[in-house]
Amino acid sequence: MPLRAHLTELRNRFFLVVAGVLVGGVVGWFFYEPMFHALSQPLLDAADARGGFAVLNFETVAAAFDMQLKVSLFLGLLLSSPWWLYQFWAFVTPGLTHRERLYAIGFLAAAVPLFLAGAFLAWLVLPHAVALLTEFTPGGAANIIDAQSYLSFVMRLMLAFGLAFLLPVVMVALNFAGIGQAATWRKGWRWAVLLAFVFAAIMTPTPDAITMIAVALPICGLYFAALGICTVHDRRVDRRRDAAGLPRLDGSMGTPA
């Protein structure tokens, strides 16, 4: 496919993703209040645990409306995750056969639960992070926190974890598209493990190493699981190339079947 066609395809997929998120955001608008209370609850629980007081503050007249838009779009992003994940798959795999396009079902079946699982893990980590960060409040003082800053922090945390859990699915998608070979992922496994632990250390600002390890290990496990799938796929491709008398993925010539 020419570069111009790729750019046109990217633009069209982007507009479809935006449309899906906006539709999800309309639905999310009606669930704003319960979502707002759920996101702010860790802060209130942390204040109660130390016998203090915390409240979210909207500094300007339009801040509450602006926050409702952001939370609604955040919900829209979660609700429309099957849609925009499919658009990603359809963009990176335009040259696959009809039979191979059926893998989109497997892609979505793995990607959507992983994305939501990552966001849920962030939700589990959030109370510990909030409790630690508010622990430094002096006695007799109260936490009057800007609502936009706090809720944006929570939503970015959940999205970051969700996208991190999509790493193995992206690896497999690129592999099936012929862009990333298993050998490439295998050579970079040390960097992948290092980045997983760095990510966990940054996104879990708690003093204990157990929480960091508990976050990093699932990401590492998903990486190696994806590496195994890519390895099996590349071996199948090499067998087909051997049968056709074509060079293997690494450029070597195999034994014809």
Tally of structural domains, the chain: 1
Distance (Å, whole) CA 174 – CA 51 = 51
Phi/psi for 204 (5° steps) reads -125, 80
Q: Is residue 34 part of a domain?
A: yes
Token pair of 140 as six digits: 């007799």
Query: From first to last of its 257 residues, what are the pLDDT tens digits of the chain?
Result: 566 776 787 788 889 899 999 999 999 999 988 888 888 888 888 777 777 777 888 888 888 898 889 889 989 988 898 888 888 777 776 655 666 566 777 777 888 888 888 888 888 888 877 777 777 777 777 778 888 888 888 888 888 888 888 888 888 877 877 777 888 888 888 988 998 888 888 776 666 677 778 778 888 888 998 899 888 888 888 788 777 777 766 666 666 54
Burial grade of 30 (CB within 10 A; 0-12, 13-18, 19 or more): exposed
DSSP assignment of 202-223 equals HH---S-HHHHHHHHHHHHHHH
236 occurs within a structural domain: no
- pLDDT at position 247 is 73
Residue-range definition of the domain harbouring residue 21: 1-101+137-155
Domain contains 20: yes
- Output the pLDDT for position 23: 93
> What does the pLDDT read at residue 253?
66
Does some domain include residue 71? yes
Q: Is residue 125 included in any domain, yes or no?
A: no
3-state helix, strand, coil split of the chain in percent (to 5) is: 75, 5, 20
Q: Which residues contact 8 (CB under 8 A, 6 or more apart)?
A: none
174: in domain:
no
Angle at 164 between CA 195 and CA 10, to 5 degrees: 115
Give the pLDDT confidence score for residue 39 in this predicted structure.
84
pTM above 0.85, yes or no: no
